[in-house]
Amino acid sequence: MEWPRSKRYRTLNDISETEYNSLLERVNHCPYRETYHIQPKTGLLNDPNGFSFFQGEYHLFYQWFPLGPVHGLKHWYHVSSKDLVHWKDCGIGLSPEKYYESHGVFSGTGFVKGDQLYLFYTGNTRDKDWIRTPYQCLAVMDSKGNIVKHEEPLICDSPKEYTDNFRDPKVFQQDDTYYCLIGAETKENKGVVAYYSSADLIHWEYEGALDIPSVNGFMLECPDYFELNDQGILIFCAQGQKPDGDHFRNIFPAGYVIGDKIDFKHPEITGNEYQELDRGFDFYAPQTTLDEKGRRILVGWFGLPGVDCITDENGWAHCLTLPRELQVIDGRLYQKPAAELENIRKNQRSAASEISGEKTFDGFCGKIYNLECTFTDLKCKKAGVKLRAGENEETLFYLDKTTNKLVLNREKSGRLYAEEYGQIRQCDFDEDHLKLQIFVDTSSIEIFVNDGLEVFTTRIYTQEESQGITFFAEGNAKLQASIWDLKL
Ligand code: FRU
């Protein structure tokens, strides 16, 4: 289907109920619909937005174009949850209706102040010559869920040194000052994080830009900053970051730098190189929030910009990743699936065995499940697992002891996409055991390795019948495994 601008910049009000219902029907018949992931009821989902813990509940919004699987006129769609697993549909949160968001309510964050949730976002506008002007805007949600937009944008004129790529405000507090980070491209086409300060969340003063030495991209999207275990962690997506060995193989990366806490009165970036948060294929624009238990939780877009999705043919595209709890251990960032996911496990099966060659176990198969397996005594060249295996299909994940790398291979995962970026992802791994916590949904796999030290995320479009699970070791290893069905 062709998607000219005239079709992309329409809202739900511009199409008939019959037209929308036929789109809904196509989506509902799609064989790749997820079961426990947040996905759009129609159209395209991208970045998570406004992720917050507010009045006893998690609130999460996402970028949404309702009318088809393309980037068009963006809304914020709103869901809420008490447990990060069961999500309530709250309908559209923000629709593009004001002059300062005529071409989309773009990404942004939530900030709780008293009994209100402040939602900061970028209003995207285009003039008749398609020249873009971004505005940084505010809407406020009360405890009943009513959202009211501020009459005027908070930041209208971006500083002169930036192009029109100036968006995705992230607001947080440090001492008695509020700060707002904004993803930006300089006129020299360098990606930086611009930042503002404010005493009242309404009036913002431009302070400067964070220049991150290990970044060579042209635009940094979706910045986030938080502190954890005495470290400062700055997250952003570096568009144009050059591939480097195993790294940055996707069209654009989502990554972070970790170092000393950043004092935004005199910011200085110390510490590590820019590194990817997720080693897999489909992960972008993550956002974090702090909950009442003091946990730092991250949710990402289970997709990428500029890459088609197999489900486009059925009128929808993409979903969000499972929520991950972040921790810093020995200076490294760990990401674990939210513990609450254990509450939807049903019907446990377990097995323990020596393996040498390939091995399957009764009851270890399926399309929607949580698999935990640990390989020890690794006297082998390779050890790992084949998921969604069937005739000519399998998704392979293993530790290659000859190279000390973890490898995810989706060459035989079924219908392929984004082929120009390759179908193998790998990263260094130097541990004496391999512990996998794997979540499989109808068309996705998330693999958490050694309690969250590495994560590999990928969508897969495998035949319904390919439901096998095969463990393997080239050489000898010991294996312990459990599997659960997952049901909301
Ligand atoms: C990232 C992004 C953001 C922007 C939004 C628009 O995927 O490009 O920078 O605000 O998506 O949907």
Q: Is the CB of 63 under 6 A from ligand 1?
A: yes
Alpha carbons within 13 angstroms on the beta-carbon side of residue 274 total 26
Whether the complex's predicted ipTM is more than 0.85 is answered with yes
Q: Are 442 and 265 in contact (CB under 8 A)?
A: no
Q: Is the CB of 47 under 6 A from ligand 1?
A: yes
pLDDT at 271: 72
Ligand 1 center–CA 49 separation, angstroms: 10
Smallest CA-to-CA distance from 395 within 437, 446, 323, 355 is with: 446
pLDDT at 270: 85
Kindly state the average pLDDT of the residues 335-360: 98
Total Cβ atoms within 10 A of residue 151: 8
Alpha carbon distance 153, 100 (integer Å): 7
What does pLDDT average to over the chain?
97
Alpha carbon distance 255, 236 (integer Å): 6
Alpha carbon distance 212, 435 (integer Å): 33
pLDDT at 416: 96
**Domain 340-486 coded CATH 2.60.120.560:** yes
Task: List residues bridging with 407 in a β-sheet.
Answer: 398, 426
- Alpha carbon 321 to chain centroid, angstroms: 5
Per-residue pLDDT at 105 exceeds 90 = yes
Residues 180, 306, 219, 458, Cα dihedral to 10°:
70
Kindly state the average pLDDT of the residues 285-306: 98
Ligand 1 center–CA 448 separation, angstroms: 26
pLDDT range class, residue 10, cuts 50, 70, 90: very high
Q: Is the CB of 122 under 6 A from ligand 1?
A: yes
pLDDT at 331: 87
For 314, list phi and psi in degrees, rounded to 5. Answer: -105, 15
Question: Which atom number of ligand 1 is nearest to the Cα of residue 47?
Answer: 7
Q: Pairing relation of β-strands 454-459 and 444-449?
A: antiparallel
Q: Is the CB of 39 under 6 A from ligand 1?
A: no
Quick check: is 47 catalytic?
A: yes
Alpha carbon distance 440, 456 (integer Å): 12
Question: Which atom number of ligand 1 is nearest to the Cα of residue 107?
Answer: 10
> Which residue type, as a one-letter code, is found at position 463?
Q
Alpha carbon distance 92, 433 (integer Å): 46
pLDDT range class, residue 406, cuts 50, 70, 90: very high
pLDDT range class, residue 385, cuts 50, 70, 90: very high
Instruction: Please report the DSSP string for 301-315 in residue order.
Output: EES-TT---GGGGGT
Share of the chain above pLDDT 90, in %: 98
Whole-model pTM: value is 0.98
pLDDT tens-digit series, residues 53-96: 999 999 999 999 999 999 999 999 999 999 999 999 999 999 99
Mutation test of ligand 1: which of 101, 106, 170, 218 has the most ligand atoms closer than 8 Å to its C-beta?
106
| From 47, 224, 278, 441, the catalytic residue | 47
Sign of the four-CA dihedral 410, 416, 418, 421: positive
Q: Is the CB of 222 under 6 A from ligand 1?
A: yes
Ligand 1 center–CA 360 separation, angstroms: 43
Distance spanning both ends of the chain, measured CA to CA: 34
Per-residue pLDDT at 211 exceeds 90 = no
What residues have CB less than 8 Å from 66, skipping those under 6 apart?
11, 12, 20, 40, 42, 43, 75
How many residues in the chain? 488
pLDDT range class, residue 439, cuts 50, 70, 90: very high
Q: Is the CB of 124 under 6 A from ligand 1?
A: no
Ligand 1 center–CA 107 separation, angstroms: 6
Percent helix, strand and coil across the chain, each rounded to 5? 5, 55, 40
For the chain, the structural domain boundaries read 5-337, 340-486
Per-residue pLDDT at 397 exceeds 90 = yes
pLDDT at 171: 98
pLDDT at 320: 98
Per-residue pLDDT at 246 exceeds 90 = yes
Q: Are 237 and 251 in contact (CB under 8 A)?
A: no
Q: Are 299 and 51 in contact (CB under 8 A)?
A: yes
Alpha carbons within 13 angstroms on the beta-carbon side of residue 136 total 31
Question: Which atom number of ligand 1 is nearest to the Cα of residue 108?
Answer: 10
Per-residue pLDDT at 409 exceeds 90 = yes
- Alpha carbon 363 to chain centroid, angstroms: 31
Per-residue pLDDT at 1 exceeds 80 = no
Q: Is the CB of 149 under 6 A from ligand 1?
A: no
Per-residue pLDDT at 30 exceeds 90 = yes
CA distance readout (Å), 421 to 252, 412, 450, 454 = 10, 15, 27, 20
Ligand 1 center–CA 135 separation, angstroms: 14
Domain 5-337, CATH number (from 2.115.10.20, 3.40.50.920, 3.10.20.30, 3.40.50.300): 2.115.10.20
Share of the chain above pLDDT 70, in %: 100
pLDDT tens-digit series, residues 142-182: 999 999 999 999 999 999 999 999 999 999 999 999 999 99
- Alpha carbon 418 to chain centroid, angstroms: 17
pLDDT tens-digit series, residues 264-288: 999 998 877 999 999 999 999 999 9
Ligand 1 center–CA 302 separation, angstroms: 14
Total Cβ atoms within 10 A of residue 290: 16
Question: Which atom number of ligand 1 is nearest to the Cα of residue 183?
Answer: 9
| Residue tagged 């035949």 (tokens) | 463
Question: Which atom number of ligand 1 is nearest to the Cα of residue 74?
Answer: 12
Smallest CA-to-CA distance from 461 within 485, 486, 479, 442 is with: 442
Q: Is the CB of 364 under 6 A from ligand 1?
A: no
Kindly state the average pLDDT of the residues 407-420: 97
Smallest CA-to-CA distance from 275 within 304, 302, 246 is with: 246
Smallest CA-to-CA distance from 397 within 448, 330, 346, 343 is with: 448
